């Protein structure tokens, strides 16, 4: 079920509660698609990165090959915020008088731990990967952070698109006001002196053009990401869970949050399902899991559900991932 649905998409998100096997599912899916001849980028947005441990190699912020046809990236939140603020700082320093460079640095330092900064910076990087990656790869697979973080992240594109649009409108009003001052012969560096400078860092027209270019680029990236996420023909979100009470309840809530954000949930993957024919203890466990899955089916009756068995060993390394990927090819509803 998972493999067949992913084969028809360009972007796949794998999410769910922490510790249910999202990284294993995302990695096995990406590997299977690469073996099928597609060019795949596997991206981890989870701060508790496991890609390197699972693939037994070092994975960092830039794409590195894992096997032929498959590259991987781990997005480190702190490094992503630092790079984001560096980019913002460079732009501000070009626009502000030189003697205010210290104030820019102080503002950015305070912004490092501002609420929502990690999510906004991470979303900028995801938007960049989706925008640029779709021209270089056939499939992007995102191994996401635990449910709550991912739900907030998925809701951000529309919010930040609207926010950026508001900034553009304000900037355009400011530009018209500046043009009116210049037509009256009164724009003689007044903007820079109001900021404490003796002269403008650049001409008003240059500053306006730079700001407008930055905002238009940002808006374009967010609009592209929002359109991609909302297109079920291009994007699918799979929720991975364990057949336990809390993961089931969290899955129902995550599904509702994603639907509110306009994102299609293509299916559910129940991982580590206990066998019913391996002794009394596991048989009882299997029956208890079945009751929790009945709750899930009652809440989300239209969603395909694929069940993967509890394995005797960890899924680590290419051979184990290939074997695990074979399980993903089974039809939905298997026990």
40 pLDDT exceeds 90?
yes
Mean pLDDT of all residues in 128-151: 83
pLDDT tens per residue, range 166-217: 555 555 565 554 555 455 554 444 344 333 444 444 555 565 565 556 656 6
Measure the CA–CA gap between 2 and 265, rounded to whole angstroms: 12
What would the two tokens of residue 234 be? 């291009």
Tell me, what's the pLDDT at 192?
41
| Long-range Cβ pairs for the range 202-205 (8 Å, 24+) | 202/94, 202/95, 204/178
Sorted by where each begins, the domain ranges of the chain are 36-42+63-138, 161-235
Confidence of residue 147 (pLDDT cuts 50, 70, 90): low
Residue 300: strand, helix, or coil:
coil
154, 263 contact by CB (below 8 A)? yes
The pLDDT of residue 257 is 87
Q: Is the pLDDT of residue 300 over 90?
A: yes
Q: Would you give the distance in Å from CA 145 to the centre of its chain?
A: 9
Q: What is the mean pLDDT of residues 133-145?
A: 93
- The band of 79, judged by pLDDT with boundaries at 50, 70 and 90, is confident
Average pLDDT value for residue range 325-335: 73
Residue 126 pLDDT: 86
Query: Are 13 and 236 a contacting pair, CB within 8 Å?
Result: yes
Task: List all residues 6 or more positions away from 125 whose beta carbon is below 8 Å from its beta carbon.
Answer: 75, 80, 83, 84
**Residue 123 pLDDT:** 77
Strand, helix or coil at 269? strand
Which residue matches tokens 């930055």? Answer: 214
pTM tops 0.85 = no
Question: What is the C-alpha to C-alpha distance for residues 39 and 37, in angstroms, rounded to an integer?
Answer: 7
The residue assigned the tokens 């500053």 is: 207
- What are phi and psi for residue 130, nearest 5 degrees? -70, -45
Task: Give the integer Cα–Cα distance in Å for 34 and 181.
Answer: 59
| Spatial contact of 210 and 239, defined as CB atoms under 8 Å apart | no
pLDDT digits (tens, 9 = 90+) for 204-222: 556 556 555 665 666 677 7
CB atoms within 10 A of CB 284: 12
Per-residue pLDDT reduced to its tens digit, 253-273: 999 988 888 888 999 999 999
pLDDT at 226: 83
Q: Lowest mean pLDDT: which of 73-82, 188-197, 209-218, 295-304? A: 188-197
Least confident stretch, 86-95, 109-118, 218-227, 245-254: 109-118
DSSP one-letter code for 188: S
Most confident of 87-91, 145-149, 270-274: 270-274
């Amino acid at each position: 079920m998972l493999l067949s649905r992913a084969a028809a998409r360009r972007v796949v998100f794998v999410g769910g509660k922490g510790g249910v096997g999202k990284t294993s599912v995302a990695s096995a899916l990406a590997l299977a698609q690469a073996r099928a001849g597609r060019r795949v980028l596997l991206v981890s947005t989870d701060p508790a990165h496991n890609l390197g441990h699972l693939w037994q190699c070092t994975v960092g912020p830039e794409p590195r090959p894992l096997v032929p046809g498959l590259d991987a990236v781990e997005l480190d939140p702190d490094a992503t915020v630092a790079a984001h603020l560096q980019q913002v700082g460079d732009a501000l320093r070009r626009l502000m008088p030189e003697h205010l460079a210290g104030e820019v640095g102080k503002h950015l330092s305070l912004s490092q731990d501002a609420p929502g900064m990690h999510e906004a910076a991470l979303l900028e990087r995801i938007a960049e990967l989706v925008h640029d990656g779709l021209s270089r790869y056939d499939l992007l697979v995102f191994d996401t952070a635990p449910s709550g973080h991912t739900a907030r992240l998925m809701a951000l594109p529309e919010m930040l698109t609207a926010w950026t649009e508001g900034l553009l409108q304000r900037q355009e009003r400011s530009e018209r006001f500046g043009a009116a001052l210049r037509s009256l012969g009164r724009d003689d560096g007044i903007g820079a002196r109001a900021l404490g400078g003796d002269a403008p860092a650049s001409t008003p027209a240059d500053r306006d053009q730079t700001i407008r270019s930055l905002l238009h680029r940002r808006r374009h990236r967010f609009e592209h990401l929002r359109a991609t996420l909302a297109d079920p023909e291009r994007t699918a979100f799979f929720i991975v869970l364990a057949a336990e009470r809390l993961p089931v309840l969290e899955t129902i809530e995550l599904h509702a949050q994603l639907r509110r954000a306009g994102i299609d949930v293509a299916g559910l993957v129940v991982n580590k399902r206990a066998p019913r024919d391996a002794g009394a203890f596991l048989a009882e466990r299997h029956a208890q899991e079945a009751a929790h899955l009945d709750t899930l089916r009652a809440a989300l009756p239209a969603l395909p559900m694929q069940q993967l068995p509890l394995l005797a060993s960890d899924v680590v390394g290419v051979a184990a991932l290939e074997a695990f990927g074979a399980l993903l090819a089974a039809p939905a509803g298997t026990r």
